[in-house]
Structure 1
Amino acid sequence: MSTTPSASASTANQPVPAPPPGCPINAEFLPPNMRKHVDPAAPPPLRMMAAKALVPLAPSDMLGALFMLTFDADAGVRETATKTAAALPDRFSAGLRDENVAAPVLGWFLTLLRAKDVYAEMLVLNPTTPDEAVAEVARDCSQKIAEIIGQNQLRVLRHEGIVRNLCTNPNASAALLDNVCDFAVRSGVIGADIPQMQAARVRVFGPQAAPPEPGPTAEEILQEFQDVVATDKPEDENAPPIEEAKKLSLTQRIMKMSIAQKIKLATLGNKEARSFLIRDTNKLVCTAVIRSPRITDGEVLSCATNKAVNEEVLRIIYSSREFTKNYKIKMALLKNPKLPLSVGIKFLGTLRENDIKDLSRDKNVPSSLQGMAKKMLEKKNEPKKEDK
């Protein structure tokens, strides 16, 4: 049966139902006609259908629906959703790899499926899975999963609990722990109470050598940024002209930070801190900036526009449904010569015709993409020419 345009538009404009109490996500990710299956106000049989995975949902959407239903007011729905998730049907496992699935959903599934290596691997490799959940699994996971966790350098530096728990995992090999701890020590992680980190410090710096100066901490730099912003009041004509000197000093101080502290600052810091760190030459640091939960659309737009941006940062932006929902970000990406042609072609199909015309004439757009925009316009106009 086909849906009439008016009915389709009516469904799309329906408000997103409120989530069950305590649930950290809402049903916005679901197709509008499927939101009734997680709506607390819907009849229980509708919710039970989703709890049994009997509704036609994409894998990523099914994961979110099952998670939401574990907060349902009906105990039967809650228990059924948990059982379905714990025995996750293979047809839904691809959703565990999807970076656009909400972090709380992935964290919950990792806790639930941690004993199944095939699923745990997908989840620890998914950059959206919360570090806290990965750290918890690192405590007792299999050797294979421990190896995968230890190879993720950004996580290791972003969350010290991962190193700490790997070091207590009886399944983690000595070679893995040596490599992880050596890398952590070189990057500025202290871990003074972890025996393996103490041993790594001796290996890296020698038994007598003092470790290098750790540099400023993320907390210290954040406080200094707050002090600068507090005195940076353009409306105050009598403010002392030391603003630029302070900013220069902050730049120099950030350059002296360890990689681990820069990543902490990138993750938890303010907009001013991120504007410094996104230009860092270390890929782990600028990646931590773009993955910061505090980053704004304006900052992402600035990165998408920047032709010198790190390619991994750009990949994270164009792979994110959340970021590319913003039309301005999508347009900026299309003008960035580093955007892969295959991604650009996909984005072109979502643009307004006037914007496609502009791109086909814009000399700032890469020639290959410009050519595709022209072909799209020619194809659209072909039927009109035939009619004439």
Structure 2
Amino acid sequence: MSHPIVERILSGDAPFNLKQAAARGAMPIPREDLIELWVLLRADPDDEVRMACKENIAGVDEAEWIEILPTHPFDPRVLDFAVRILGRTPTLLQAALQNRGVTTDTLEWLAQHASGAPLDSLLDNQVRLIQSPSVVVAMLANNGLNPTQVRRIFDLSEQFFRDHPEIPSLLELRFGLKLGLAGGAFAPDLREEVLPEQELPSEILTLASIDEATLAAAEAEIPVALLIEEPIPPEEFKSLYQQILNMSIPAKVALALKGNKEARMLLIRDSNKVVQQAVIGSPKLTDSEVESIAKMRSIPDELVRQIARNKEWMKKYPILKALTINPKTPPGVAINLIMNLLDFDLKMLLKDKNVSEVVRREARRIWEVRNTRKVVPFKKH
């Protein structure tokens, strides 16, 4: 609920001079309530009020927005403004999307118009997508989806939306993907059929035991388009995606090691651990891809630990940060990384209710150690 003065101004019951004073920021009310008022009055009919609000909004710096957006109970219209306007800055969009007050209408707009990282952020919040399937429907109307995002939507839909009135048909119409036929680990009735490793001899069920001859032979199954580091056109992606699903384990391993970014980002979500390990071990894997993998909520514990053990990757702050703040990261791993976070990220982590209590507690302890002033006793001479 807004501050009483804000509610009074917005309802039209307040004197005009009170509205003017609030627009200038000359009212003794909390900063968050002033910001809310400025956003809601930025289109006010009065020129003076409108200009004052716009100027004050422009004066709110990025750090302050990041501080207040995730948790303050803003009017949904303010959060809509944050997503549509402030959201042009990735860090501000991320902060806004953490607020549970963002409406489904706002998320639908974002799902249909965004591309790249904003869509990844939406896909990371699977709980909200399950609660609001209309956001997934809106996303499927987005022409900016990349193959990895399509794969994530397909996996989510295979698990939760098989009986939805629109999602299955949209997936099939746009991408040629039919739910229930290649359902991965999510389809109980197909589990034995779609886990190829159960049909393979035990001697090739570990990455180390797949010899070079086997990999060389398996490369014949790989389409050339998946070996070239170029974007895959949507019309080609449909058939290539189906081919990946039907590949043998050795072929998937060969593709993980020698394929392009699109292939690696699909294969990292494969149900077979050998394939996942091959992606992590690929000599073509870039730091930005490792960062993306470290952010995934579906990443297995084994891969988390494998990334954390890589000293070179842990020297890259974006990767370290992604792994530390990922709720999927085992607390024992996260706690060992927290001390390396910058103060700003450390402060955000200690407030993040998505991570475990033990991680937040350790973040708070380190924050207090860093920010408690040391008292030096005065010595008389």
TM-score by length of 2: 0.40
TM-score by length of 1: 0.40
